[in-house]
Structure 1
């Protein structure tokens, strides 16, 4: 029987040795500038940064800890440093529509100047107006106007009085107005006396009263027109005096901001409003109100209204101290953090607001630059994704209140004028979120035209190993810890290969490596070591595993006490040792399990007990179907299968998925049919196809170590080992303990490429090949299986007859 190849200890791990580096400690190195092993992603990201066309936002996809956020920040800051500083933005009062504050923009730094200039202007206007309207000249002009009005009014009143006398009436004035009293024989008549007058006299009085009322009405209309004219004259005087007092000051500010047409128009509106409301600049002392406030203390809490509020400037974006374009990173992208908010005050249960309570959001701060956001964060916050896509789509920041949209508050609302947006959004997340957004938002691909894909692994070559050493140096400087010697760097390289589960690859999950570096440095400092060595790295890995292996220890205890029944010696028919991996997120380990198969006459085919118990995943179910295909292809060319078979992962109560045990299950079935025992000192992993070829599986390192640990606890016999797919050889990054056991001949690892090779190892019998007539040798495994299935078919036919 042909010997199956066994792996040598040198093939079980790709060691890293000090001779591969030119330094002794990281003190000789300079820190890494950039990111390792992500050339494709970096190229795509840099291109996305430089394209300024709408829709060329960037999605950085890949596993956590690969340096996406670090690259985004460093590259965005580097790109932004050479770009212009964006504009300042202010909100000001809208005199035409107070509920819609106006947005004004300025060159960087001028927004603060404008705010201060307006505050200074308002104080200056107040002083100048009070000065102008307290001059003797103004009082003289105003008094002349009022005196002229009084003279004309008196003349009209005199005319009214004469008209009344001519018709025997006397004019009386009161708070309620003017009325006429009849005069009879030189005596004013009251109501009681009027009732006693003869009818003819009453008739005469009625006629004269009508005439007097008509003349009085005409005169009163003239008086009202005269009052209006007098007010217009006084207003014109006030306007001219006010304009004379403030016109030059407003013009001076307009001259300073003459390049901003919208600012000029706003200042014109300010000037007109000031001149139309001059009285608001004069202090009125109302003792009665102060007395009322003293009687009702609650009223005294209300702040006096600021008449100059509407002339203030709400500077919401100030780039006075900004260098280049802004780069804003957020990990809390709620709707209001992004868009901004209009705040409210509560006065005696009533909500009030004004344009000065408009608060900027991250969109405002990042406008003209870059916004870095995590996909998971923005998808977790209500309305946040909608806010982001609206800004990208409309290219403007619109502060529509979400409370109003949802009807959550009844209060006066503001509709601030939208601000044009020019923001490059950099979203960081897993490929899962990218696919999720692509599927559920039909415009997502239009919004994020650049995808920078980060790989979870990189080639293990001399260049990347050197960069990894420089990464360690950067960690040393950043965290102020001892330097690492070359042996420690080698240990980190080997650990990076183990995390990548490939001999020729290194993981790019630098957050995992940073954890090891930090803990190793801590162990070194506890020992007062001058440098971190490989021993510290190994201790760190060991201690970290010890902290996480509680569940593994519980399983080990049950295996040792034979609560979970697994044999590592002897031979059994229809029983085999399978291998699985339990991944707890931060820790994974191999878990051996017993697989059994029973076969008998029937038509049900292969029954997966896990599936029947609803404990099997889709991939595992597929593996069972592939076994059915293999059996049909191999044995059912001359007669149909009359087989019932039940396959089970014994003592499995958590469910199972994956097809890595499909070859294992097939060996178990063949053993039951051929009635040949399987070696229990060998464990098997590997996927099989319908042609009987063994395919690669995942987690091969953990699976081998899981069975090795069990064998070591039970006692190594020198014959135990694991059968793996030949295509998984490059994935082996085994612990030194396993490598030494293989080196000493106490443990064996067999790579195979076909089911027939596995049969020879497990059953120590030739698998058998078909002859020209399509028959297997009778004593071969396939021959025994074929003969058993043929008997099943005959008996099944006989039972049917």
Structure 2
């Protein structure tokens, strides 16, 4: 078997030719309004916005930086601009049940007009009613009512007095009321001495007459409250008639103006009748009565607070949704979707230690503002806010917005509140979130799938085809113009295209995370300005990339320094048995970087088990443990098919003090294990990455660029000697987008990269000895690595069987 040859430099990087872009700088490019590589997502958005059926709300999922928020918002605003304006919504007093304010729907723009008309009507009523109540005709009618009652009262009193005079008694007024006294000759009151000279019969008669007249007087006095009520009823009826006459023309005019809206007509007629019943609200100098039974909750306290006139508080209009200035359907982006901000709320005011409210304190939520339009929210924010998710689902299922305060909905406190009439809901809700949020809701919330039927899935990569490269250039150029950045010349744009592939981790792809690429562009603009250039060039882009890496590389550089000082034990030259350089990836401060780690293996006679020390101490994850178990099966199936595997092996990541996860080191672990079995040293100038399956095939892994550069950085720090190299899976060659330093070192023959398909190729490279292939008889040629491995395993198996027999027993696994 011939060992693989090092990869040529043209396989390490997919260069973008500036001349292929077809422009001098980005100022020549047309504006781009699309979305790079998101045809699937755009089709889903078109379906979600175009299909007006229940449950077809959208969930936009994808990683941050793909342009989800900006594109969705721009798309919806463009679509909404051609849609009709939605209705205005008002709340008015429900005079028959003030705790349940009535909702009125009006065409866009008429809500504010209706509110102003009612305000003007009340203002005019404040003039018309008092003027009518102060007119001579009104005063004469009221005086007639009062005089009639007074005359009836005087006549009743004179009747009692005349009856007393006929019986020789007079009526006098005392401090405690009225009293009857005897009269002499029906004129003057007799003195006590004269009363004593009266006969007993006369005294008895006077006492009897006094008793009868007192009863008659008491009956007359008991009729006084009834007469007062009659007077008040007459005055009230007079006031009602005068008020109806005073506001009748005003209301009639409004009835004609809003005759096309039944709910408005119903309210105006009810308001007219209620004004007649509450004339005192319009009288000059009269304070409104405190909270009669048919007033609003706490109205008396609110009316006396100075917040508008009492009549306006009772009859005014609370316009909660006003689309008079809207252009098309609303697009609402709610950044703080708490329960009250989403559903609406009923505010309270504190008056004399009491919380009071009325329909004027009803406030609209995001669902009201987005009704018959689009509501965009961040899914995580909705789920984090208490009760918001349940309230949203409840509104979507019911098809209406029911404003309830949290204390009322969940019984937190016993404050008396309102129950406004629900408003019909017809809006498209667009939730934007990370993919894991979508799949968690899909799995654990049974209502989610029925309410959000449209999945808008944003991809993280786009093919690096010519049309996509042009689209990327136009998109970056358009954003740069909108942000007043310097034009980007062809070399700078080509370097951004290359960096896009690097961010995508694939030389044949472009990243769709435009936010990350634009951060590089903005920083390149800064460096271009520093050197007073009129354009952003490739050097500026490279400067920005290097500066970003340098700012985030403190931990990486410290690890390299500790390797140089010998604190972290990594060999980059020489050969050692059972030891190999694996490659790991670390994430720190937004920078992902690779770093070598020493993997060692030790082998003794045993029952055929490979011990993963990381797993034994619970530092290894399930995927890593899976990779180690595959090694055990590979050894038995590949080398000793007819004998028991009779070794006890241990594998460990040296100087690893945290969790180990993933199977990308399984190729390196297998090489260390086979080296220990064959007792063949491995070159420490090489590092290995790749996962292995049960057939010994080396499979692709992630972050291949970071891993290669991580080992290169350590070797460069110690000094390149022309022997150092990294072995990678052949399937990862298409992912290579290595930095300039690595490419230059490879071109100079100071560093090498090998691509392998099978673990035998790794062994050939690491040992410098042919791994060997089975011949027709199924044996490996002598002197090859695999021959030595088979010989050692067979010898261990024979030794184990012999030991078992010498002990007079039989090892159940030895045959």
Does the 8 Å CA contact 2:12/2:743 hold for their aligned counterparts?
yes
Q: 1:561-580 to 2 correspondence within 5 Å?
A: 561-580=565-584
Q: Corresponding residue for 1:244?
A: 245
SS at match of 2:310: coil
Please list the CA deviations of residues 58-94 of structure 1 after superposition, one character each: whole Å capped at 9, or x if unmatched.
1111111111111111110111111111111122222
- Shift in Å at residue 3 of structure 1? 3.5
SS at match of 1:562: coil
C-alpha distance in structure 2 between counterparts of 1:774 and 1:210, whole Å: 142
Please list the CA deviations of residues 781-801 of structure 1 after superposition, one character each: whole Å capped at 9, or x if unmatched.
333333333333344345442
C-alpha distance in structure 2 between counterparts of 1:31 and 1:192, whole Å: 122
- Shift in Å at residue 656 of structure 1? 1.3
Query: In 2 relative to 1, CA 174–94 (structure 1 residues): closer, same or farther, beyond 3 Å?
Result: farther
Q: Corresponding residue for 1:90?
A: 90
Q: 1:206-221 to 2 correspondence within 5 Å?
A: 208=209, 211-212=212-213, 215-216=216-217, 219=220
Does the 8 Å CA contact 1:181/1:190 hold for their aligned counterparts?
no
- Shift in Å at residue 703 of structure 1? 0.9
Indicate which of 452, 456, 460 corresponds to 2:456. 452
- Shift in Å at residue 772 of structure 1? 6.0
SS at match of 2:651: strand
Compare 392-401 and 683-692 and name the one that shifted more. Answer: 392-401
C-alpha distance in structure 1 between counterparts of 2:719 and 2:462, whole Å: 39
Does the 8 Å CA contact 2:552/2:589 hold for their aligned counterparts?
no
C-alpha distance in structure 1 between counterparts of 2:150 and 2:593, whole Å: 105
TM-score (norm. length: structure 1) = 0.92
- Shift in Å at residue 189 of structure 1? 9.8
Q: 1:350-499 to 2 correspondence within 5 Å?
A: 350-405=354-409, 411-499=415-503
Q: Corresponding residue for 2:22?
A: 22
2:309 aligned with 1:306 = yes
C-alpha distance in structure 2 between counterparts of 1:504 and 1:191, whole Å: 131
Does the 8 Å CA contact 1:167/1:212 hold for their aligned counterparts?
no
Please list the CA deviations of residues 635-670 of structure 1 after superposition, one character each: whole Å capped at 9, or x if unmatched.
453232232111011111122110001111011111
- Shift in Å at residue 406 of structure 1? 5.4
Compare 452-461 and 112-121 and name the one that shifted more. Answer: 112-121
Q: 1:713-728 to 2 correspondence within 5 Å?
A: 713-728=717-732
- Shift in Å at residue 549 of structure 1? 0.3
Query: In 2 relative to 1, CA 384–553 (structure 1 residues): closer, same or farther, beyond 3 Å?
Result: same
- Shift in Å at residue 49 of structure 1? 0.9
C-alpha distance in structure 2 between counterparts of 1:420 and 1:196, whole Å: 92
Count the aligned residue pairs. Answer: 786
C-alpha distance in structure 2 between counterparts of 1:375 and 1:205, whole Å: 95
Compare 547-556 and 578-587 and name the one that shifted more. Answer: 578-587
Q: Corresponding residue for 1:602?
A: 606
SS at match of 2:33: coil
Compare 499-508 and 727-736 and name the one that shifted more. Answer: 727-736
Query: In 2 relative to 1, CA 377–639 (structure 1 residues): closer, same or farther, beyond 3 Å?
Result: same
TM-score (norm. length: structure 2) = 0.91
Does the 8 Å CA contact 2:25/2:489 hold for their aligned counterparts?
yes
Compare 216-225 and 579-588 and name the one that shifted more. Answer: 216-225
- Shift in Å at residue 515 of structure 1? 0.4
Does the 8 Å CA contact 2:3/2:770 hold for their aligned counterparts?
no
C-alpha distance in structure 1 between counterparts of 2:147 and 2:53, whole Å: 71
Q: Corresponding residue for 2:296?
A: none
Q: Corresponding residue for 1:290?
A: none
Q: Corresponding residue for 2:644?
A: 640
- Shift in Å at residue 222 of structure 1? 5.5
Q: 1:309-324 to 2 correspondence within 5 Å?
A: 309-324=313-328
- Shift in Å at residue 152 of structure 1? 2.4
SS at match of 1:481: coil
Please list the CA deviations of residues 258-291 of structure 1 after superposition, one character each: whole Å capped at 9, or x if unmatched.
12222212112221221112122123379xxxxx
Does the 8 Å CA contact 2:594/2:711 hold for their aligned counterparts?
yes
C-alpha distance in structure 2 between counterparts of 1:794 and 1:203, whole Å: 148
C-alpha distance in structure 2 between counterparts of 1:53 and 1:207, whole Å: 91
Please list the CA deviations of residues 222-255 of structure 1 after superposition, one character each: whole Å capped at 9, or x if unmatched.
5554444433333222222221111111111121
Q: 1:185-196 to 2 correspondence within 5 Å?
A: none
Does the 8 Å CA contact 2:608/2:644 hold for their aligned counterparts?
no
- Shift in Å at residue 616 of structure 1? 1.2
Q: 1:117-156 to 2 correspondence within 5 Å?
A: 117-156=117-156
SS at match of 1:568: coil
SS at match of 1:594: strand
Does the 8 Å CA contact 2:18/2:491 hold for their aligned counterparts?
yes
Please list the CA deviations of residues 364-423 of structure 1 after superposition, one character each: whole Å capped at 9, or x if unmatched.
221121111111222222222222222222222222111444555564422222222222
Please list the CA deviations of residues 676-729 of structure 1 after superposition, one character each: whole Å capped at 9, or x if unmatched.
111112211111111211111101111111112222222222222111111111
Compare 183-192 and 323-332 and name the one that shifted more. Answer: 183-192
C-alpha distance in structure 1 between counterparts of 2:264 and 2:464, whole Å: 61
Q: Corresponding residue for 1:292?
A: none
Q: Corresponding residue for 1:756?
A: 760
Q: Corresponding residue for 1:67?
A: 67
Q: Corresponding residue for 1:254?
A: 255
SS at match of 2:66: coil
Q: 1:465-544 to 2 correspondence within 5 Å?
A: 465-544=469-548
Compare 216-225 and 365-374 and name the one that shifted more. Answer: 216-225
Does the 8 Å CA contact 1:163/1:215 hold for their aligned counterparts?
no
Q: Corresponding residue for 2:295?
A: none
Does the 8 Å CA contact 1:370/1:424 hold for their aligned counterparts?
yes
Q: 1:691-702 to 2 correspondence within 5 Å?
A: 691-702=695-706
Unaligned runs of 5+ in 2: 288-303, 808-815
2:622 aligned with 1:623 = no
C-alpha distance in structure 2 between counterparts of 1:376 and 1:40, whole Å: 23
Unaligned runs of 5+ in 1: 287-300
Query: In 2 relative to 1, CA 112–626 (structure 1 residues): closer, same or farther, beyond 3 Å?
Result: same
SS at match of 1:59: strand
Q: Corresponding residue for 2:297?
A: none
SS at match of 2:429: strand
Please list the CA deviations of residues 423-453 of structure 1 after superposition, one character each: whole Å capped at 9, or x if unmatched.
2111111111111222232101111110110
Q: Corresponding residue for 1:680?
A: 684
Does the 8 Å CA contact 2:608/2:645 hold for their aligned counterparts?
no
Query: In 2 relative to 1, CA 179–650 (structure 1 residues): closer, same or farther, beyond 3 Å?
Result: same
- Shift in Å at residue 599 of structure 1? 0.8
Query: In 2 relative to 1, CA 334–593 (structure 1 residues): closer, same or farther, beyond 3 Å?
Result: same
SS at match of 2:273: helix
C-alpha distance in structure 2 between counterparts of 1:352 and 1:197, whole Å: 70
Indicate which of 592, 599, 608 corresponds to 2:596. 592
C-alpha distance in structure 2 between counterparts of 1:427 and 1:269, whole Å: 43
Does the 8 Å CA contact 2:552/2:588 hold for their aligned counterparts?
no
Query: In 2 relative to 1, CA 43–226 (structure 1 residues): closer, same or farther, beyond 3 Å?
Result: same
SS at match of 2:573: coil
Does the 8 Å CA contact 1:63/1:430 hold for their aligned counterparts?
yes
2:78 aligned with 1:78 = yes
C-alpha distance in structure 2 between counterparts of 1:631 and 1:380, whole Å: 51
Query: In 2 relative to 1, CA 781–145 (structure 1 residues): closer, same or farther, beyond 3 Å?
Result: same
C-alpha distance in structure 2 between counterparts of 1:372 and 1:190, whole Å: 98
Query: In 2 relative to 1, CA 266–173 (structure 1 residues): closer, same or farther, beyond 3 Å?
Result: farther
Q: Corresponding residue for 1:46?
A: 46
- Shift in Å at residue 745 of structure 1? 2.5
Does the 8 Å CA contact 1:46/1:75 hold for their aligned counterparts?
no
Compare 791-800 and 79-88 and name the one that shifted more. Answer: 791-800
C-alpha distance in structure 2 between counterparts of 1:150 and 1:543, whole Å: 100
Please list the CA deviations of residues 514-538 of structure 1 after superposition, one character each: whole Å capped at 9, or x if unmatched.
0011010111111111111111111
- Shift in Å at residue 480 of structure 1? 1.2
Query: In 2 relative to 1, CA 173–303 (structure 1 residues): closer, same or farther, beyond 3 Å?
Result: farther
SS at match of 2:259: coil
SS at match of 1:471: helix
Query: In 2 relative to 1, CA 170–307 (structure 1 residues): closer, same or farther, beyond 3 Å?
Result: farther
Query: In 2 relative to 1, CA 643–54 (structure 1 residues): closer, same or farther, beyond 3 Å?
Result: same
Compare 772-781 and 541-550 and name the one that shifted more. Answer: 772-781
SS at match of 2:643: coil
Query: In 2 relative to 1, CA 596–116 (structure 1 residues): closer, same or farther, beyond 3 Å?
Result: same
- Shift in Å at residue 747 of structure 1? 2.0
- Shift in Å at residue 763 of structure 1? 2.1
Query: In 2 relative to 1, CA 160–569 (structure 1 residues): closer, same or farther, beyond 3 Å?
Result: same
